[in-house]
């Protein structure tokens, strides 16, 4: 009896200390670019690691990416995140590789019958990488609206480059439309389409799309896989494959 009581207390303590992961909470590049308007749970911590392979695009004919990121729900309706994207380009250009990014997201309106969920996200990218200079500032407005099992997400992003190179624009804009729908209790289908202003002065707009699935492995972890492509400019990849894993605690 005593052993059963102790085991029950341990389960309760462990359950209180661990926060469940949520495969319906969309994050950027996991596996699609568009994200939803909701932060992670209050007082939760989340570690995420994702990798990608690109064929074509501005990193060369073949390129790999890896990004570890940690998030903390430091207050209700908000989280902060710290990440350091790494790129292994096929052409050997390592400029800006390893810059540290600090992100904060705040949800100021949950979805109601009239209004969508609304959030604002700010990201600072510091010149900690190879041949980096200047701090880049990004501000995003995010809206999420559900219609039964279907959810739609709108992202509008402004990015200012702290040290734009010769022939590059200092101010960039991106717009994305995302969609998700449950396949079953453990799988979520996700898709997006986005438009980017070219960072090259006088360059054409860049278009891209991604399709993917997020799978709830257990209450504390999520797996994501996706495929994407781009068109409209030579900088966009012909193929982009993404895989990532996420743990909440």
Per-residue pLDDT of the chain (249 residues; tens, 9 = 90+): 444 444 443 333 334 445 677 789 999 999 999 999 999 999 999 999 999 999 887 766 788 899 999 999 999 999 999 999 888 876 656 666 778 999 999 999 999 999 999 999 999 999 887 777 889 999 999 999 999 999 999 999 999 998 887 888 999 999 999 999 999 999 999 999 999 998 888 888 999 999 999 999 999 999 999 999 998 876 788 899 999 999 998
In the block, tokens 């809206």 appear at: 143
Measure the CA–CA gap between 157 and 138, rounded to whole angstroms: 7
Residue 207 three-state SS: strand
The structural architecture, per CATH, of the domain 2-248 is Beta Barrel (2.40)
Taking 3-state DSSP, the helix, strand and coil percentages for the chain, each rounded to the nearest 5, stand at 5, 55, 35
CB-CB neighbours of 234 under 10 Å: 11
Give the Cα separation of 138 and 89 in Å (integer).
24
Rounded-to-integer distance, Cα 110 and Cα 104, Å = 17
Q: Are 214 and 190 in contact (CB under 8 A)?
A: yes
Distance between terminal CA atoms of the chain? Answer: 30
pLDDT at 134: 87
pLDDT at residue 98 in the model: 79
pTM over 0.95: no
Give the Å distances, CA to CA, from 13 to 8, 62, 122: 9, 48, 35
Q: How far is CA 56 from CA 53, 103, 230, in A?
A: 10, 28, 10
Q: How far apart are CA 161 and CA 172, in angstroms?
A: 8
């Amino acid at each position: 009896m005593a052993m059963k009581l102790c085991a029950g207390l341990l389960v309760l303590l462990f359950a209180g200390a661990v926060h469940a992961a949520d495969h319906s909470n969309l994050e950027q590049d996991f596996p699609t670019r568009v994200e939803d308007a909701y932060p992670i749970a209050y007082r939760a911590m989340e570690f995420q690691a994702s990798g990608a392979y690109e064929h074509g695009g501005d990193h060369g004919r073949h390129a790999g990416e890896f990004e570890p990121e940690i998030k903390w729900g430091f207050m209700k309706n908000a989280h902060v995140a710290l990440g350091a994207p790494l790129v292994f380009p096929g052409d050997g250009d390592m400029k800006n590789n390893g810059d540290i990014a600090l992100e904060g997201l705040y949800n100021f309106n949950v979805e109601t019958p009239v209004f969508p969920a609304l959030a604002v996200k700010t990201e600072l990218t510091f010149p900690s990488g190879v041949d980096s200079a200047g701090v880049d500032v990004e501000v995003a407005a995010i809206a999420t609206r559900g219609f039964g099992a279907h959810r739609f997400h709108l992202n509008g992003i402004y990015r200012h480059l702290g040290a734009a190179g010769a022939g590059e624009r200092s101010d960039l804009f991106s717009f994305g439309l995302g969609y998700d729908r449950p396949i079953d209790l453990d799988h979520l289908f996700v898709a997006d389409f986005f438009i980017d202003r070219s960072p090259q002065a006088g360059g054409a707009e860049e278009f891209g799309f991604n399709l993917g699935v997020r799978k709830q492995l257990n209450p504390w972890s999520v797996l994501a896989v996706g495929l994407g492509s781009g068109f409209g400019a030579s900088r966009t990849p012909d193929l982009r494959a993404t895989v990532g894993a996420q743990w909440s605690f």
